[in-house]
Structure 1
Amino acid sequence: MPRMSARVFAFVLADDAEHYSAQELAQGLRVSPAAISGAVRHLVRIGLLGREREPGARQDTFRVYDDDVWYAITMQRREALDRSVRFLGEGVDLLDQARPGGRRVRETLEYYRFMRAELPETMRRWKERRRELFGDEIAPDAVGSHG
């Protein structure tokens, strides 16, 4: 992740506000609005931040959408895993498995298949662990909202 995108995401994650204008992000991070513009565009594109505009407002605001941000982010990555499996499957079909490159692509495909298959159980276990750690601190609709 680019450095400024990482800084913006860390700021939004650690600060207490629910949403931020680009100006608030620039002030909070002590950087130029231009630096924020590129960073939030990247973060919105990859799904780490959401962009909103209140009715009648003249500027967008940015926020993390989910109370269980890491669950939401991980589940968004399922689509990327699925695309990778399809793409790598095509590569495996084209490459000679007896050659090192073909073996590496096949291993990568099997890794992604494994990760995709393990994801639902891992996320179920995360929800349990999160409930154990934070109990009543979790908003009631956050626990089952992405399941």
Structure 2
Amino acid sequence: MENQRDEDAVRRFVEHFAMTFNDLGFPRMPARVLAVLMVTDAKGLTAGEIGEQLGVSAAAVSGAVRYLLQVNFAVREPVAGSRSDHYRLPADPWYTAGAVRGGAYKKIADLVQEGLGAVGSRESAAGTRLAEMYEFYIFIQEGMLELLERWEKTREERLEA
């Protein structure tokens, strides 16, 4: 027999998820919206439906959704015959693909490289720190791409089984 959905537990999970992600540096309202999109059985939700579940206005949801769209953690689709849009999670493994394929770590490395140019020398104290930071983020980007490939293979094998 299958377990019944416990809406109180779902609400607690959404808030716990948001608080934990917020503690890790993710904005709180986008984390709440992301959690709602994760726990819904619907194919997509409007901003009003998300707001209703969270007890916030559609305007508050709008800013959060804009953030999630920007970081590739959500997809917006028009609702036929309506001025509303549905929001859902991407079909691919969103939790890694957004940051990895989007080159988030490479973008940080590029930014740090700009700092390297500004301080003028890799041999200075600042240059040494920045060079190591640059190398670290390039290493992470490359490693994450490899991990993503391994994950996708593992995921496919699990789905085929």
TM class by smaller structure: 0.7 to 0.9
More displaced 10-residue stretch of structure 1: 92-101 or 21-30 = 92-101
Alignment partners' CA distance in 2, 1:11 and 1:22: 11
**8 A contact 1:52–1:60 mirrored in 2:** yes
Q: CA deviation at 1:92?
A: 1.8
Q: CA deviation at 1:71?
A: 4.1
- Name the structure, 1 or 2, with higher relative contact order (CA <8 Å, separation 6+): 1
Q: CA deviation at 1:116?
A: 2.1
Letter of the 1:116 partner, please give it: Q
Structure 1 residues 104-143: aligned runs within 5 Å: 104-132=129-157, 134-136=158-160
RMSD, aligned α-carbons: 2.1
Alignment partners' CA distance in 1, 2:116 and 2:85: 44
Q: CA deviation at 1:70?
A: 2.4
Q: CA deviation at 1:23?
A: 0.8
Q: Which of 72, 83, 100 in structure 2 is aligned with 1:58?
A: 83
Could you state the TM-score of these two structures normalised by the residue count of structure 2?
0.72
SS of equivalent to 1:51: strand
Aligned to 1:142: none
Detail structure 1 runs of 4+ shifted over 6 Å in the superposition. Answer: none
Unpaired runs of at least 5, structure 1 = 138-147
SS of equivalent to 1:20: coil
Q: Which of 102, 123, 127 in structure 2 is aligned with 1:77?
A: 102
Q: Which of 72, 76, 83 in structure 2 is aligned with 1:47?
A: 72
Q: Residue by residue, what CA displacement relative to the aligned partner does 1:15-53 show, whole Å, maximum 9, x if unpaired?
A: 211111011101111222222121112111222111111
* Cα distance change of structure 1 residues 91 and 119 upon mapping to structure 2, 3 Å threshold: same
Q: Residue by residue, what CA displacement relative to the aligned partner does 1:89-136 show, whole Å, maximum 9, x if unpaired?
A: 23223323333322221111001111122233211211233245x424
Count residues with an aligned counterpart.
135
Letter of the 1:22 partner, please give it: A
More displaced 10-residue stretch of structure 1: 110-119 or 16-25 = 110-119
Aligned to 1:86: 110
**8 A contact 2:71–2:98 mirrored in 1:** no
Letter of the 1:86 partner, please give it: D
Could you state the TM-score of these two structures normalised by the residue count of structure 1?
0.78
Identity %: 33
